[in-house]
């Protein structure tokens, strides 16, 4: 299961990093997908979730601490295929955002849905991974 975890991390990291780089390089104006409700709209986020900016080094410490905590939990968990993918999405998304931040000093966000804050593929992967972990938890309690 560790190989599936690592493959998920690599796939998500590569997709998120490549997606952000292509968007940042190519996008010159917003691109409507479903009118103005869903569109591609370039934004650079120097903060953390929902563009919340915390003073340095607190922001860096929180991000690194969260990533380390998730990695620690993943290593200590008896991984199934489902959990391997879930943790892979979370870790890959976090690493993708860290790569983006290391390269340009900010995270490239580009997916806009309604009034929700603009996000990127890495953020979506983190959210999907967290949702999968919650689903696993609920399914375990029912069974």
Task: Report pLDDT digits (tens) over 87-123.
Answer: 999 999 999 999 999 999 999 999 999 999 999 999 9
Q: Is 94 a catalytic residue?
A: no
Q: Which residues contact 56 (CB under 8 A, 6 or more apart)?
A: none
> The tokens 């968990």 sit on which residue?
77
d(CA 23, CA 112): 13
Per-residue pLDDT for 9 more than 90?
yes
Q: Which of 109, 110, 111, 120 is catalytic?
A: 109
Q: Is 38 a catalytic residue?
A: no
Task: Report pLDDT digits (tens) over 23-35.
Answer: 999 999 999 999 9
Task: Calculate what percentage of the chain has a pLDDT beyond 90.
Answer: 91
Per-residue pLDDT for 38 more than 80?
yes
d(CA 53, CA 130): 22
Task: Report pLDDT digits (tens) over 58-79.
Answer: 999 999 999 999 999 999 999 9
d(CA 64, CA 88): 16
What's the Cα-to-Cα distance from 73 to each of 110, 120, 125, 136, 138, rounded to whole Å? 30, 25, 18, 15, 18
pLDDT at residue number 143: 63
Q: Sorting pLDDT into bands at 50, 70 and 90, what band is 136? A: very high
What's the Cα-to-Cα distance from 106 to each of 38, 59, 89, 90, 96, rounded to whole Å? 23, 12, 20, 19, 12
d(CA 103, CA 95): 12
Cα-Cα-Cα-Cα torsion 38, 44, 49, 51, nearest 10 degrees, comes to -100
Q: Which of 13, 90, 98, 123 is catalytic?
A: 123
pLDDT at residue number 115: 95
pTM of the model: 0.93
pLDDT at residue number 5: 97
């Amino acid at each position: 299961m560790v190989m599936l975890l690592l493959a998920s991390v690599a796939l998500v990291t590569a997709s998120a990093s490549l997606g952000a780089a292509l968007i940042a390089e190519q996008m010159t104006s917003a691109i409507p997908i479903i009118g103005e409700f869903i569109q591609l709209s370039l934004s650079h986020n120097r903060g953390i979730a929902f563009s919340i900016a915390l003073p340095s080094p607190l922001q860096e410490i929180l991000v690194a601490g969260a990533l380390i905590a998730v990695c620690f939990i993943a290593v200590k968990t008896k991984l199934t295929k489902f959990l391997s993918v879930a943790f892979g999405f979370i870790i890959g998304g976090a690493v993708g955002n860290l790569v983006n931040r290391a390269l340009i000093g900010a995270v490239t966000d580009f997916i806009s849905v309604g009034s929700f804050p603009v996000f990127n593929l890495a953020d979506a992967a983190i959210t999907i991974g967290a949702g999968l972990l919650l689903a696993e938890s609920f399914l375990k309690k029912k069974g």
